[in-house]
Amino acid sequence: MDFEDNTPDFDNAVLSLNNQQPTLLADHIRRLRTLVVESITNYVKGPDSSGYSTSWESMYDWEDSGYARFLLENELSVVENIILLMVIAPHVVGGFYDNIIKATFPAGGDLPELGGVRGSNHRGMLPTGETVQFILAGNDLQKRVEVQQLLTDGALIKKHILELEGIREGEPVMSGRLIVSQLALNKILTGKEADIKFSADFPAKKISTAMTWGDLVLTSNVQQQINDIVLWVKHNETLFKDEVLGTKLKPGYRALFYGPSGTGKTLTATLLGNQLNKDVYRIDLSLVVSKYIGETEKNLERVFAKAENRDWVLFFDEADALFGKRTNVQSAHDRYANQEVSYLLQRIEDHKGLLILASNFKSNMDDAFLRRFHNVIHFAMPNAAERLMLWQKTLPASLTLEPTINLDEIAGKYELTGAAILSVIHYSALRSVANNDQYIRKEDLLEGIRKEYRKEERTIN
């Protein structure tokens, strides 16, 4: 059976998606096409088909590309590489499998054993677990079982590179579609890790700031505790290699930031990410917490699963909504709520990365969580001297204070957080710009302070 290459040029197809030399990826997709044809041909010839025979071991002539680096970083075997290629091929070459089937059966025909499904938008065939079993194992039962193990508990699944889609009860497990993670696909094609999109499946947003540590006012004690986190991130991996400590230590670092709103908890987490060159994702608890039994755990598991092999900082703001105190069991609802907390305890302890929880009140947190934190950092209301520094750091460069304004007096008299001081300056500066004024006026400054006090139902003296 002859197979004519009437598919699009692979180099051009890959190059259109890849801003680099695509030699290795294009070459592997060509070889995958040959492998698929070989598998179909062997199957048609007789029932004793045992999968592919083409040698791939000599193909690894590495070049500096996103694809090559991805294979090396994840230590994927030859077979795992082939499986990955089967899944990403339709993303690179439209109609990849359909063109092969059409060329192999020019008179028409169907091959149910090949598996595959149609997408809701993509009109071509998308591979399933059955597709991988057919191409790699044919009718060899032992090989088919080995492939199934790779697709349920192999490195590609454990590292969340691929996912085997769930199917209806009673249908073969391997009939589920194989899905490549968007993060992995982007890294393969571009060499860069794309920002993951906020959605119900991933209720977390990447947060960033243009501010620096110089914009933040921290006490020496808090600064030392922040330095301890940096110390862990930079050097803890070394201790895991120690033959004594390495067997006793658990991966991951958990810190609690607590204190009034506006005292710099979120900003500190973001600045830590900048310093450590790590992305910081803030979990949206409104999409995580559910009134339905078991749904909160599922929602949170999706977040942890996505972050499992990513070098991220996970930040839970207002964490007491999720990690609050357990209650005495008086109803079935209480029992399930306590089970939820127990699950969270285990899950945060298993997370290998940096995990930061923030709460206004330490007392709201369950004691079992507190015992598992490596660091509990109190962000207190700034005192008069600290407020003066915050006022000075926040003043705009393009405007000057009205000469009658005494910042020392204002800092001493009005108890405000750093976020509130920024809000006051912002309001006053807007008034100055609107009036085409070069000064920040005292009346505007005091009105801004009144606004902040009203938010907390306080009155200005």
**pLDDT tens digit at each of 461 positions of the chain:** 333 444 444 444 444 444 444 467 888 888 888 888 888 888 777 655 555 554 544 444 545 567 878 888 888 888 898 999 999 999 988 889 988 888 877 776 678 888 889 888 888 899 999 999 999 888 888 989 999 999 998 889 888 889 898 888 888 899 999 999 888 888 888 777 666 776 767 788 889 999 999 999 999 999 999 999 999 988 888 888 887 887 788 888 999 999 999 999 999 999 999 999 999 999 877 777 776 667 777 778 878 877 877 788 999 888 777 765 544 444 444 444 556 667 777 788 888 889 999 988 888 777 777 888 899 999 999 999 999 999 999 999 999 999 999 999 999 999 999 999 999 999 999 999 999 999 999 999 999 999 999 998 888 76
Query: Residues for the chain: how many in total?
Result: 461
pLDDT single digits (tens) 249-300 = 888 899 999 999 999 999 999 999 999 999 999 987 777 777 666 777 777 8
Comparing CA positions, the residue from 156, 177, 157 lying closest to residue 71 is 156
For the domain made up of 204-378, the CATH class stated in words is alpha beta
Q: Where are the domains of the chain?
A: 10-190, 204-378, 384-455
pTM: 0.70
Q: Which CATH code for domain 384-455? A: 1.10.8.60
User: What's the token pair of residue 354?
Assistant: 């940096």
105, 40 Cβ separation under 8 angstroms: no
Two tokens at 233? 């991130």
